[in-house]
Amino acid sequence: MVAASGHEVVAEAEDEPSALERFEATHPDVVLIDGRLPPGGALVVVGSLRARDARVWIVVTAALDERELLRAALAAGASAGLERPFLPSRVEAALAEAAARTA
């Protein structure tokens, strides 16, 4: 869905350590993180990314019943939250906002 919106996906990660490793290797402008990323979850990754790069735009995703997780992620330094299930228009809007803020 991200690539279909015209954005380049530079890395994917299946867990917290690989997410941080790939961030260091690619230094993307925008990071899209699943709120349930193992082992420590998105909150650990958000804090680590924010400490490494104050300008990176971090979007955390969570299910509709995980609104508290989104609030905690925003408090930890995430730039935005995106609820699942994803509507293409919401993903595109989140990516457009990220692009505008990181340009």
User: What Cα–Cα distance (Å) separates residue 40 from each residue in 13, 29, 36, 43, 64?
Assistant: 14, 23, 8, 7, 20
User: What's the CATH code of the domain at 65?
Assistant: 3.40.50.2300
Alpha carbon distance 21, 8 (integer Å): 18
Report pLDDT for 64: 86
Give yes or no for a cis peptide into 17 (omega within 30° of 0): no
Do 97 and 75 touch, CB atoms closer than 8 A?
no
Report pLDDT for 18: 95
pTM here is 0.89
User: For residue 29, which of 55, 4, 7, 51 has the smallest C-alpha distance?
Assistant: 55
Report pLDDT for 10: 93
Residue 4 has pLDDT above 80, yes or no: no
Residue 58 has pLDDT above 80, yes or no: yes
Domain that holds residue 60: 3-102
Name the band, by pLDDT with cuts 50, 70 and 90, for residue 91: confident
The count of domains in the chain is: 1
In a 13 Å sphere around the CA of 64, the CA atoms on its Cβ side amount to 3
Radius of gyration of the chain, Cα coordinates, nearest whole angstrom: 13
